[in-house]
Every structure is written in structure tokens, then in C-alpha cells.
Structure 1
Amino acid sequence: MADDRLALTWQLSEVHGWGLVGVHTCLYLVDRGTPPLLLVKPGLSSLRPQNQAALRGLEDGFARVEAIAARNPGKVLHLEGFTVLHALGNGFLPGPPSETYRGDRNIGVIAFEDTRFDAAILARAGSYDRLIVHSAYNRRLLEERGFTNVGVALQGVDPSEMGPLEPQRRFGDRFVVFSGGKMEFRKAQDLVLAAFRRFHARHPEALLVTAWHNPWPHTAASIAESPHTPVRPEVGKDGRLRIRDWAVANGLPAEAFLDLGFLTRPQIAGVMADCHAALFPNRCEGATNLVAMEAMACGVPVVLSANTGHMDLIRDGVCLTLDRQDPVPDRDGSRVGWGESSVDELVERLEQLHADRAAAEARARRAIDFIRGERTWRAFAEAFVAAVS
């Protein structure tokens, strides 16, 4: 492996988690003098200018391999001298590039929430020379199934774009609670809404600010599984979720809610600067939760559910935790380890942050030190490339 170059089967971008994994892995490899081969055209237009400049040279390698694939339609191309990193989804399903390209070694990369392991899934997972995951939770599940060649690389943030800024008071004197992540049952926006509804009744100055945009709106229908939000979100004529209407239909006053839609990378830190709390009662995270880490890096006091991938973020004194974790209904074995947080406990944590701002700020400062010290994208890339070896 020492002489192998790496090849990536997913798109570079700064729009989603997979894209960021690719961007920061490539930045590290380019800095190290071992540029990777891209097997999917990079989304350079989504990158910040300095990252575009650093990675633009990778387009030439992609163009060459794309031309070879075009001359050999339907064939599997062996990339001699390369270790191919294959992006896998739930069920260890690969994307289309993995059907075209194979390397001297083939590494599966995955952060999974669906915990089913039937014979076909076990066979797919076992077909790779090595698996790399992004949480101790995922590694444990694989080891319990007998996999021994599993590496872990914990995702991070870029301190140059995620750091505490001076508040701009864009929301006036309101107590601002942030919640982010694409809307779906797993992300538990229903629990946020149920808890904030009760909190707002006691503190009418409170405002819930969200970034719940889901680029795959049909997957948001899973939120209707919750007893807390019996009204499911509708999709508007523009193809976007009507998130504000959903919040109001489930009992939150319109003046207490603001959904910001999709936040671009340059917008995130500014929004976080004006928030006093961030809630993440997620039922499951296959990785460590990028949005939660960004909030912590920006100095927002964070509440995390004590389950799954969140456990890699929980350190004494850096966040408040939701310790009561009941089993989530699971009929087919797809939710092993998932946790149902208590709405009562979530309200208690909000009250704690509201009542003692000094303690909340001290906790947030410790979180900044933790994230910037141990959970950076550069630290991730170093661990990721080492795990490949």
C-alpha cells in the first residue's frame, strides 16, 4: 500500500458530508505530494476559492480516466498501482463508479444507520479488503459481526471557516435555539419541536431557528412516524418542504419559528454567532454529526443525545447530554443502538442553558478547544489515510 495512490469514487463538494470528506482528504494528499485520482467529476463550483485553486489540478486525472472508461463501455477497469476508496451507503451498497473501477486494493468507506446484516449485506461488506467507518458505534457493530479489518476516522471541522464570531444580534434580544440537519425521523426534529413548544410557552421571547432543508423531500415523510408531530410535512409546488407550515401545524406559533433553508458554508458561522443553544436529540448518527461539531466550534452551547455516533463527541464539560435513551421501535433489526430521547429531559436542558448563561458560555469555550484541538478535518484526513494503510 505504501506505493499505491488513492482513488475516490465520490464527488468532491462543500455541500454535503461525503463531499467534505473528499475535499479535505484530497487537500491533505495534495499537500503531502501524493495527489489522488478522482473517479467522479468534482463539484469545484461549490468549493471556497482557495480550495478550488488547490484541487483544480485533479480535474486532469479525472478527464483521462473518464476518457478510458468511455472507450471501454461496460467493462470493469483495473487501476494498477491504486487503492480505490469506495463510497458505500446503507446496506453497504456502492455507487455506480464502483461498478466500473477496481484497484489493487479496494476499501469500503461507510457511515451507516441501517443496522441490518442479512447474508447479502454481509457478503457485500466482506468483499472489501478493508472497511473504514466514522464512529466507534459503527466499528462495534461490524466487530460484533466478525469483521476484524475495520479502521476508524472521525470527521471534523475546518477552523478557518468554523469559529466563534461576534454576535450581530440579527434576532434582537430573543433567546435563540438552533437546530440543524435534514428533516427525517432519524434526525429527530419532532423532538426538538415538542420540547421547544413547551419551552416557548414559558419563555415567549424564545425563537427556534432551523436549517432543516432536505434535498430529498420524500424522505422527510418518515417524521410522521413520531407521535409528537402527527401532521406530516408537505412538499410545495417548488419541490421544497413547507417546513414553516409543518411547524405551525404541529402547534408552534408562527412568530416563534424561522427556518433558514439550506445554509451555505460562509453563512453558518454568522448564524451560529447569534444563537444561545443548539439541540441535537438525534436518534442515530452513523458518524459524529457534522452540524453539531460546527455548532460546537462556533461557540454555541450544545445538547446531544447520548447515543450512537454522538458518543464520540461527548466529553465531560463540553456539552449537555440527553442521558435517558429508550429503545426506538425496531421491527426488522435496522435500528440496533438507536435511542429515543426524553422530551422532558430536553426541556430541562433548555431551561438549564437559559437560566445560567455563564455556565453555558464556559461549556461552549471548552467545546471550542475540544473541537479545534481534536476534531479538525486535517486530523480526520491524517487518520483516514493512515486507516487505509
Structure 2
Amino acid sequence: GSDLPVCASCGQGIYDGQYLQALKADWHADCFRCCECGASLSHQYYEKDGRLYCKKDYWARFGELCHGCSEQITKGLVMVAGEQKYHPECFSCLNCRAFIGDGDTYALVERSKLYCGHCYYQMVVTPVIEQILPDSPASRIPHTVTLVSIPACSDGKRGFSVSIDQGCGTEHPRTVRVREVDPDCISPDMKNSIHVGDRILEINGTPIGHVPLDEIDLLIQETSRLLQLTIEHDPHEPLGQEPGLAGSPLPTLGSPLRSPAPVPCGDPAAMRQRAVTRSCSTDKSPGSGSVGSPASQRKDIGRSESLRVVSRAHRIFRPSDLIHGEVLGKGCFGQAIKVTHRETGEVMVMKELIRFDEETQRTFLKEVKVMRCLEHPNVLKFIGVLYKEKRLNFITEYIKGGTLRSLIKNMDSHYPWSQRVSFAKDIAAGM
């Protein structure tokens, strides 16, 4: 009939009682294969430019690419959400294009689409909540790995409890899951972040495997302090499933997260009129990330715990870290400001835009990309980036001695030509 789904690969109608839904399309299970080697992708897949890949072929072809701009990541700061890596200047919301700074809320939806916390709530959570369906909203929220910040409380109750499976070796590592959630003790805004069966991956930024077993419950129930939990929500994982029973071990943070296995056709509890296995869509390639707070009144979900630094020379600054000084130079599009680190006293230069038209911002991002890759004796050393008011600025070293303009202006006829030629050669080399 007219309601018969059509396979995105072969173009034929799907008559099976079970099929895959991924990338906003329907697929025969047998047609959902790696475009390189033809391997079945019913359990895990990667996608790039509309083509499907297995893990091996994806990494062989694309390697360490920025998930935002698809260019190679060679060195410097890397923003990491699970397996997804971004240049700092590419870590921005897919919808509103705002830069996502340190401590800002965000969500990596279905292992690929990056949103700020506000856009995530508007585009993903709200439509799910507003649907009137017999199953719970939690089962319809896509796969997420969420960093939840739970404030200290005075009543001594967190509103949820956990179960711990000690595991056995590297193949079946220790797992900690949310066992119960008390709706009377947990704030309404946290209900979209913590669900029964969710897996806790990190406690206060420490991977669960590195937390002493006897301290896990103590840390969670210590209500006098802020608690940060990195939680994996997999809507397709059966509640109560023990590690290892799904055919592959549960992933750790930073490892590829598997898409769900097909629902058995004979399982009446999992089927309605037509059983559908929804493979978690990967708009470019899979990974895990931290999901942002749905709205401004909701608890902040930061992203600093998802940050990994490849080069210690590059840093991320917060506006509160720096004390602004004099304006060193100003052009048509931007200005350079002398700044001092509040704690270390380090003097640096911050370059920021003063015009924000689209072309200027594109040019500025290109400058950031070039600067962070350069190491040259005649170019200012790139130190890091600063996110301020949803905009990106970059920080370079500060060189004493004034400006070249003032030096040239004050030259007299006795200034040696060898020095003048040396200046010109250095400028040309830097350019």
C-alpha cells in the first residue's frame, strides 16, 4: 500500500516485519552495508557525505578529521566529544552557529549533530515531550552521553540510586547504572537527563573504571557538594541487561558507541504493528558527547570534562581568567588588546572582532586556523582561544618594545641600512 516504506539503498519496498531507520530513511537490514567492504552495519556504522562505512574503513579513509570542517587535525587544541574531534573554532551549534565555550551547555545528538543547550531543548527534547504516545519520553530521546551537574542539597537526598556490576576483566568492565529515580526527590528539569537504566561513565570527570569501587556510592550520595555525572542514555538497550549479553561489551567513554542490535521479530513486547529498529543516526561519524542543559533554568551541563589537549602549549581561557589592558592596535574589522592572566600574571595579546558580518567572521576563522598551525620565529606565537559572549577570540604572545610602525617612524638617517634590510626580510618571512 501507500504506507509501505521504501529502502533508501535499493529503492524497493520493504515487506519485512523488521527494518532499519537511519539518516532519516528506511533500509532493508541486508542493504545497510559498508560502501567499501560490504560488511553488514546493523550494529554499528559510520557515515560521511551520505555514504556508509564500517569502523575500519572509515578510519582508514578519513583518519583524524575535524567533525565540523572535515579538515585534518594536525596539532594544537582538540575539542573531543567521545570519538568526535573538533578544532576549537569549529565547536559551534549546528542550528544557531553560536560558539560553544568552556562550561557552556551542549548536546551531541545521535552521535553526530552538535547543538548548544538551548537549541537541543527546542529541537530535540521539546518535540519528544509534546508527542502523545504510550511509551515514555525517555525511550524516544535519542542516544546521548550527558554531563549532568547536580547541585548540593540540604535534605540529604539525590533522588536516584545506582547499581554496580563489578565486571570481569577488560572484555566486561565494571558498569554502574541508574537503578531507581524518585520523582518526588529529583527536580523536574533533571528528569530529561537521568533515567532508569542509564549508564554512568564518569564521576566528577573521572572515568568510572578509575574510581575505587567502595567510593562510587559514597561520592554519588555526598549531597553537600556539587556532583557531576557523565551519563550514557541508550533508548534501545533493554533495562536490566547485564554487560556482555548484547554480543559486544559496553563501550567506555571515548570508545565508539554501538548502535542498537535489531529487535527480535518474535518479541511481542518490542513490537507494535510493525517492528522497527532505529539505528542511531550518525550525520557524519559516531561518537559520544555531553548533552546540554535543555533551557536556561535547567542545571548547567558543562563540556570541560570532554576537553582533551594534544599540545599543552595551547589553552582555552575563560573571560574571568584575563584582565583587560590597553588596546595595542585597531583595524577596520578587529582589535588587539593587552591582557594579563589573573592568577599567573602572564601578559598576552587577545585579538577580537569589532565587526560581525558573515564575511569578516569567515576571514577571522581562517586566521585562527592558520595561526594555531604556525610555528615561525617571525610570527606571534599562538597560545590559545577564548570564548566570550558566544564569540571566538584568540590569544597570542605579547612582545615588548612597541610597534613596528613607531619604530619606523622614529628612524633617522643614521639608522643602519643593514638593520632596515633585516627588518624587511623578517617581515617578508613572516608574511
> Does TM-score exceed 0.5, indicating one fold?
no
By percentage of residues, which structure has more helix? 1
Q: TM-score, normalised by structure 2?
A: 0.25
Choose between structure 1 and 2 for higher RCO, CA contacts under 8 A separated by at least 6 residues: 2
> Which structure is larger by alpha-carbon Rg, 1 or 2?
2
By percentage of residues, which structure has more strand? 2
